[in-house]
Amino acid sequence: MLNKFYHTAEDMIRHHGGRATAGRIGILATLLAEQQAITHREIEQRLPQSLQLDRVTLYRTLEWLVENGLIHKITSDDRVWRYNANLEPHSHQHAHFKCTGCAQVICLDNLPIEQNWPLPTGYRFQEIELTVKGLCANCC
């Protein structure tokens, strides 16, 4: 039932005062339907035939969704961004897991991150990026 996600996506976008274009809705719905964080390429592949967007549009839409706090993007060691929808219980600060076998990335939402890292004198803390690497259940 992808329909549900399309409806939710449109709601989320309108609540942020943005134009509810087919592209934004489709991309956000795709990310809402996904259990893991996926790349630009993977999003492109999952979009329905009726919604083939230019790659640049896809990049710009993802940027807009990130800036408006509807999704977040994750750094990885393969130099490719991965994106995931910001569900409500999704705390802004959370860790991620990356499988070294299949490159799958998931959010570890229930992993609270310590904020008190002892930095050198004069340094100011802002945020943390934490990726646990290992093998997922399929790759073990």
Binding site residues, Mn ion, CB under 5 A: 84, 107
Using CB under 5 A as the binding criterion, the count of chain residues that bind Zn ion stands at 6
Taking CB under 7 A as the binding criterion, the range among 73-81, 87-95, 108-116, 120-128 that sits at the site for DNA is 73-81
In angstroms, the CA 93 to CA 114 distance is: 10
Nearer to Mn ion, 30 or 84 (CB): 84
> How far apart (Å, rounded) are the C-alpha atoms in residues 39 and 63?
13
Cα–Cα distance for residue pair 118/125, rounded to 1 Å: 9
The amino acid that residue 125 corresponds to is F
101 binds Zn ion per the rule CB under 5 A: yes
Residue 102 in contact with Zn ion, rule: CB under 5 A: yes
Unique residue bearing structure tokens 């100011």:
124
Give the number of other CB atoms < 10 A from CB of residue 86: 20
Select from DNA, a copy of itself, Mn ion, none the partner in contact with residue 57, using the beta carbon and a kind-dependent cut-off of 5 to 8 Å. Answer: DNA
Segment near a copy of itself (CB under 8 A); pick from 16-24, 47-55, 64-72, 113-121: 113-121
**Distance (Å, rounded) from C-alpha 131 to C-alpha 136?**
14
Site residues, a copy of itself (CB under 8 A) = 75-77, 79, 95, 97, 100, 106, 108, 110-111, 117-137, 140
